[in-house]
């Protein structure tokens, strides 16, 4: 009897186990989640919520490129909280506390033509944050603070943070520059009134552009101008008419240039407008300095 071994069946090659995918941005991290747009594996740190599933950061950025950023009425970024207005009010309050602590602060920060002419140009701006000391009831500070609080947020939401800050500071500078030209040399001037008048003028311009009822702000401007010129004549109260008028003219003209700028290349127009206004005011200061220095010699 013979025996025969059955023919051997060739063994099947062993199939390799499927490799676990790794995140395309972090190769050391395993993941089974894929981007819904490009289908590349993404780890939890790279997942971005999408309408369905998740997307990778690159696909999210690519999708956002086609979405136009929301803008304010006149081209600035949308404003939720008017941080610039609140910052101005805080700075004014802090400076007032410094004034209470030291009498020298008021004189050191006020607009004094001879001091500016010899190089203390910062006074043209710092004077807009200084107010008359009034004890328990500082009316100068309270009136300007209330005016900024009342109309500042509306203008900041219309122009955006940066344009509003420029409007406020350049209006303040415009008031100081007119005082630098026309005030007596030994006169200290200070207060946010120049900037406030600039905001009044800007509010009027914005209202006209949006076809709103501007009679209220027109009356406020007229009454304050009357007070500016009449009250000093009837009392010993000194009011800087140059600061008020200079701020009003500067703020009104700058706001008009921003509001009525062509929509095509509006950002460029705004940059050039703000830079141009600043250049004009700086030039007026430079031109006036030699005359003041000659009077002092």
Domain boundaries of the chain, sorted by first residue:
21-62, 83-296
Domain formed by 83-296, architecture: Up-down Bundle (1.20)
Tens digit of each residue's pLDDT (9 = 90 or more) over 44-94: 888 888 766 788 888 888 776 655 556 777 877 888 899 999 999 999 999
Q: Taking the model in full, what pTM does it have?
A: 0.77
Cβ contact 79:72 at 8 Å = yes
Identified catalytic residue from 131, 140, 161, 244: 244
Give the angle 245-249-251 at the CA atoms, nearest 5°: 115
Residue 45 DSSP code: G
Regions of the chain where pLDDT drops below 50: 1-6, 8-9, 15
DSSP characters over 183-244: S-TT--B--THHHHHHHHHHHHHHHHHTT---HHHHHHHHHHHHHHHHHHHHSS----HHHH
Q: Please tell me whether residue 22 adopts helix, strand or coil conformation.
A: strand
DSSP element (H, E) containing 51: none
Residue found under tokens 């006036």: 288
Distances (CA, A) of 241 to 116, 125, 225, 237: 19, 17, 8, 12
Q: Of 176, 193, 240, 270, which residue is the catalytic one?
A: 193
Distance from CA of residue 59 to its chain's centroid?
Answer: 32
pLDDT single digits (tens) 90-122: 999 999 999 999 989 999 999 999 999 999 999
Give the single-character DSSP code of 48.
Answer: E
Known active-site residue 240: no
Asked if 141 and 92 count as a contact pair (C-beta separation under 8 A), the reply is: yes
Residue 5, pLDDT score: 47
Q: Are 94 and 86 in contact (CB under 8 A)?
A: no
Answer yes or no: 26 catalytic.
no
């Amino acid at each position: 009897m013979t025996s025969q071994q059955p023919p051997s069946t060739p063994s099947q090659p062993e199939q390799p186990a499927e490799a676990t995918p790794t995140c395309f941005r972090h190769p050391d991290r395993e993941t089974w989640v894929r981007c819904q747009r490009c289908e590349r594996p993404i780890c939890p740190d790279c997942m971005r919520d999408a309408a369905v599933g998740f997307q990778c950061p690159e696909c999210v950025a690519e999708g956002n490129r086609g979405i136009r950023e929301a803008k304010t009425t006149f081209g600035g970024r949308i404003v939720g909280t008017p941080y610039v207005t609140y910052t101005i009010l805080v700075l004014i309050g802090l400076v007032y506390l410094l004034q209470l602590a030291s009498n020298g602060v008021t004189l050191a920060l006020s607009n004094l033509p001879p001091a500016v002419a010899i190089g203390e140009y910062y006074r043209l701006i710092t004077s807009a944050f200084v107010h008359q000391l009034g004890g328990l009831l500082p009316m100068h500070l309270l009136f300007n603070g209330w005016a900024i609080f009342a109309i500042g947020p509306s203008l900041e939401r219309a122009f955006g943070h940066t344009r509003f800050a420029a409007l406020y500071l350049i209006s303040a500078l415009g008031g100081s520059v007119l005082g630098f030209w026309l005030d007596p040399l030994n006169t200290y001037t200070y207060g946010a009134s120049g900037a406030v008048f600039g905001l009044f003028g800007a509010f009027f311009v914005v209202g006209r552009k949006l076809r709103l009822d501007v009679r209220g702000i027109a009356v406020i401007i007229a009454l304050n101008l009357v007070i500016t010129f009449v009250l000093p004549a009837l009392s010993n109260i000194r009011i800087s008419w140059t600061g008020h008028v200079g701020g009003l003219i500067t703020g009104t003209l700058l706001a008009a240039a921003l509001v009525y700028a062509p929509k095509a290349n509006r950002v460029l127009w705004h940059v050039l407008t703000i830079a141009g206004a600043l250049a004009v005011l700086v030039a007026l200061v430079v031109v006036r300095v030699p005359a003041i220095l000659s009077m002092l010699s």
